[in-house]
Structure 1
């Protein structure tokens, strides 16, 4: 399965927007999100599912984090 459910720390901004701050990958490692580049409603073609996709910078790499109704997930990298 290419969908990885992750624990996310997020906060609500003054304007009511939900902003992810960090996530814990399936191996238990915590990653801080350096910044959110974009937020849009989108489907995940790799993992399946739809929701709000956050395009984030994490340790110099662009990553996609999805908020799907009441859960967060990411796409597992495949070779």
Structure 2
């Protein structure tokens, strides 16, 4: 069984002249870096799996869709998976 947990990540983002922000890479605490292939959507939303609110970016990474949250206080997180012993 898998549970979700809030995982804070380092994000490299491009800030555009129109005031929008486009995340480009995500770096996890184990130094794994993933390039964001595409930003599909950005909207204000809450994470129903791990709690927290802010801007939710729907992004494509390595062909998989995932959510990246900007809490708007300089902190970014993803809904990470953690294995639970059964």
Q: TM-score range by the shorter chain?
A: over 0.9
**C-alpha distance after superposition, 1:17-75 (max 9, x if no partner):** 01100011232200000010000000001110000000000000001000002210000
Stretches of structure 2 that go unaligned for 5 or more consecutive residues are none
Following the alignment from structure 1 to structure 2, what is the Cα–Cα distance between the partners of residues 14 and 34? 21
Report the RMSD for the aligned CA atoms in angstroms.
Answer: 1.4
Q: Which has the larger radius of gyration?
A: 2
Following the alignment from structure 2 to structure 1, what is the Cα–Cα distance between the partners of residues 30 and 45? 26
SS of residue matched to 2:70: strand
Alignment match of 1:60 (pick from 51, 60, 63): 63
Q: Which residue of 1 aligns with 2:32?
A: 29
Higher relative contact order (CA 8 A, sep 6+): 2
TM, length-normalised to structure 1: 0.92
